[in-house]
Amino acid sequence: MEFFDSLIRDVSLLTEPLVKKEYAFSDSELWQDVGYSQVILQRDTASELDGTGFNLVTSSPVEDGIVVIGDDLQHIEGKRKFARISLVQIESEEDEQKAYNLIRKIEYVKYHHFPDGYMIRTSSRSHKEAVRVSKTAVKNGISFQKIGSLLINKYKENPAVKAVKVIFITDPAADHAELENMAQKNNRITETLNHIMNSVTFDCDTCNLKPICDEVEGMKELHFKNAGMNR
Ligand code: SF4
Ordered per-residue pLDDT tens for the chain, 231 residues? 788 999 999 999 999 999 999 999 988 889 999 999 899 999 999 999 999 999 999 999 999 999 999 999 999 999 999 999 999 999 887 777 888 888 888 988 888 889 999 999 987 667 899 999 999 999 999 999 999 999 999 999 999 999 999 999 999 999 999 999 999 999 999 888 888 888 767 788 888 888 888 888 888 888 888 777 655
Confirm whether 61 is domain-assigned. yes
Nearest to 60 by CA among 184, 192, 165, 178: 165
Task: Collapse the DSSP code of 56 into the 3-class scheme (helix H, G, I; strand E, B; otherwise coil) and give the result.
Answer: strand
Closest ligand 1 atom, residue 199 Cα = 4
Q: For 113-127, give one letter per residue: b (16+ CB within 10 A) or e.
A: bbbbbbbbebeeeeb
- Supply the pTM of this predicted model: 0.91
Residue 166 belongs to a domain:
yes
Q: Indicate whether 181 belongs to any domain.
A: no
Which atom of ligand 1 has the smallest separation from the CA of 203?
3
C-alpha 219 – ligand 1 centre gap (Å): 8
User: How many domains, in total, are found in the chain?
Assistant: 1
Integer Cα distance of 110 and 80 in angstroms: 20
**Residue 180 located in a structural domain:** no
Kind and range of the H or E run holding 188: helix 176-198
- Whether residue 51 is contained in a domain is answered as yes
Residue 145 domain-assigned (yes or no): yes
Residue nearest to atom 1 of ligand 1 (CA): 220
Q: Could you tell me the residue range of the domain that residue 132 belongs to? A: 5-173
Size (the chain), residues: 231
In a domain, 221, yes or no: no
Q: Domain containing 122 — which CATH number? A: 3.30.1650.10
Query: Is position 134 within any domain?
Result: yes
Give residue 230 CA to ligand 1 midpoint distance, Å: 14
Other C-beta atoms closer than 10 Å to the C-beta of 138 total: 19
| Residues having CB within 6 Å of any atom of ligand 1 | 192, 195-196, 202, 204, 207, 209-210, 213, 219-220, 223
Return the ∠ at Cα 106 (arms to 54 and 46), rounded to 5°.
50
